[in-house]
A and B are shown apart, each in its own frame.
Chain A
Amino acid sequence: MVRLAGVDLPANKRVDVALTYIFGIGDSLSQKILTKAQIEPHRKVKDLNDQETLAIREVIKDYQVEGDLRKDITSSIKRLIDIGAYRGTRHRKGLPCRGQRTKTNARTLRGKRKTVGLGKKKEEEKKE
């Protein structure tokens, strides 16, 4: 079992794929890390020896991953909200902040579809 940056790596996967299980490491960064650590990407995690995991750990130290990265992201969003920028208000409302349309789509940020308007009609009927 290999633990890197607070995440257990899947033992039966290739190293380059396993590294992407860490938040902040994608395909390309994983390749970069492995070339720096001088480990072939096709090898499995379970076949790595201690020295090699140590080499990977040393390289990862130079990058921001997991908790640090998450903290960084939330703090920069908080900054946008605090200074009252347009992007901040979009973040606060949970809407896209890069000028995308919101008449349709934008489902990733807006979440699951909610129908607006029908609930109010029932209340009006009750009054009558």
Chain B
Amino acid sequence: MGRSIKKGPHIDEKLLRKVQKMEISKEKKVIKTWARNCTIIPEFVGFTFAVHNGVKHIPVYVSENMVGHKLGEFSHTRVFRGHSSPTDKSTTLT
């Protein structure tokens, strides 16, 4: 179910403030953030965020296509390294 329109998209206020500050000072720095649930708004386009994935911060460059998604969608939390190869124990037929 979608979020109520009345509330508008959820935006992390601290993050927004930081972005606005950077826009005024015209500098581009990577912003470290834990706010994975923050919606990407048009103001964020062109910035790079280091989004926490539970272990470390993954750099996410925000492009125009990403508007409307959440920051967390671009910082994967799980790593799949394939299934383990079968051991003798697992392949014996009982």
Contacts and interface: CB of A to CB of B under 8 A. Distances in A.
Interface of A: 79, 82-87, 89, 116-118, 120-121
B83 interface: yes
Given A79-B65, A83-B65, A83-B66, A117 B90 contact: yes
B69 A85 contact: yes
Contact of B91 (A82, A87, A117): A117
Given A79-B65, A121-B91, A87 B85 contact: no
Nearest to A84: B74
Contacts of A86: 72-74, 76
A86 B77 CA distance: 9
Given A89-B76, A120-B86, 12 more contacts: A82-B65, A83-B65, A83-B66, A85-B66, A85-B74, A86-B73, A86-B76, A87-B73, A116-B83, A117-B83, A117-B86, A118-B91
Interface string B63-84: 1011001001110100000010
Contacts of A117: 83, 85-86, 90-91
Nearest to A89: B76
